[in-house]
Structure 1
Amino acid sequence: MTTTLENQKCIACSGDAPKVSEQELAELISQIPDWVAQVRDGVMMLEREFKFKNFKLALEFTNKVAELAEAEFHHPAITTEWGKVTVTWWTHAIGGLHQNDFICAAKTDTLL
């Protein structure tokens, strides 16, 4: 029995940690269907846009994501706007995607 992504813990990784392979990417992204893998400035990232009824709710969600990031010691880009929060996960140390990013994306989904 495999453990779902949101029940896993991020592992510390350094600049020599391997990026996810194409096969791993396909498997992991299927577990977080609302996220999009995209390349920005040559770096593969996971991104999702969350919609809210107003700025206050968007800000509350932003703070929850920040708490998650601190707990996992893995930090995304977060853009908060009126009624919308965009969260982007990638591993800065390796300039791409690591399993940690998928774990944090899945955990982000549970914050709704």
Structure 2
Amino acid sequence: MTQLSTLACEACQLDAPKVTDTEQEILNQQIPDWNVLDRDGIKQLERVYKFKNFKLAMAFSNRVAELAEAEFHHPGILTEWGKVTVTWWSHSIKGLHKNDFIMAAKTDLLI
């Protein structure tokens, strides 16, 4: 299987397929620190990153924002003292697409 972090996001249209449960299981193996959550019927990938202080957390948030702009795929980012929560999902399809797993893997490389 191709390493997720080496892939680029593809344009995601309203009719793009969500990942199947089987695909999700396979993709999850490459991002084991991420959790799949269901918020109001929408599956999302989420991970909390811990830092020593707010300045380091903010710097990481900015790197995530730069990555999101480069790939034109944007997460939820919650920056707090000593931690950053990043949430990926595909807004257009209201669920998870392969793009979300790619971006989660790329986010892990920003540490």
Q: TM-score range by the shorter chain?
A: over 0.9
CA displacement, residues 53-73 of structure 1 (integer Å, 9 cap, x when unaligned): 000000000000000000000
How many correspondences in the alignment? Answer: 111
Cα shift readout 1:51-99 (whole Å, capped 9, x = no counterpart): 0000000000000000000000000000000000000000000000000
Moved over 2 A (4+): none
RMSD between superposed Cα atoms in Å: 0.5
Unaligned runs of 5+ in 2: none
- Which position in structure 1 is the counterpart of 2:5? 6
Partner of 2:94: 95
**2:106 alignment partner AA:** K
How high is the TM-score relative to the length of structure 2? 0.99
| C-alpha separation in 1, matches of 2:64 and 2:12 | 20
Aligned sequence identity (%): 65
- Given the two structures, how large is their TM-score scaled by the length of structure 1? 0.98
Q: Which residue does 1:26 correspond to in 2?
A: 25
